[in-house]
């Protein structure tokens, strides 16, 4: 079973061929092909770790859709000071489908 460790949006993800992954928002259109940086890869017993990237390794993926995560509420309060602030945040994401690991 082969997999790769990729980096996108400042985060790292373990991906396999045919799998779907939610990554931080990409600016590509739905249906577009994307090539991602490979930090490490394995194919059965052989493992290659890059410093920082594996030379010649590519992960090709297709953008499936874009969306936004559920809202989280950020609430700040300082007691006895009449200070309260409420703010909401929704993180944007992109779902990608892994086509190949080379």
Mean pLDDT of all residues belonging to the chain: 95
Average pLDDT over residues 31-53: 92
The answer to whether 62 and 31 are in contact (CB under 8 A) is: yes
Q: How confident is the model at residue 13, as a pLDDT? A: 96
Q: Is the dihedral of CA 12, 45, 102, 62 positive or negative?
A: negative
- As a whole number of angstroms, the distance between CA 72 and CA 87 comes to 9
Q: How confident is the model at residue 1, as a pLDDT? A: 66
- As a whole number of angstroms, the distance between CA 100 and CA 102 comes to 6
- As a whole number of angstroms, the distance between CA 102 and CA 86 comes to 47
Q: Which residue has the tokens 């017993």?
A: 45
Average pLDDT over residues 86-101: 97
What's the pTM value of the predicted model, to 2 decimals?
Answer: 0.85
Q: How confident is the model at residue 43 (pLDDT cuts 50, 70, 90)?
A: confident
């Amino acid at each position: 079973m082969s997999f790769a460790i990729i980096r996108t949006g400042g985060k790292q993800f373990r991906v396999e061929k045919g799998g779907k992954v939610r990554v931080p928002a990409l600016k590509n259109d739905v249906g577009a092909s994307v090539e991602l940086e490979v930090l490490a890869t394995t194919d059965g017993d052989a493992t290659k770790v890059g410093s920082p990237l594996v030379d010649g390794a590519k992960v090709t993926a297709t953008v499936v859709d874009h969306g936004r995560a559920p809202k989280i509420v950020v609430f700040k309060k300082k007691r006895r000071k009449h200070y309260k602030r409420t703010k909401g945040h929704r993180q944007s994401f992109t779902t990608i489908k892994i086509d190949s690991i080379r």
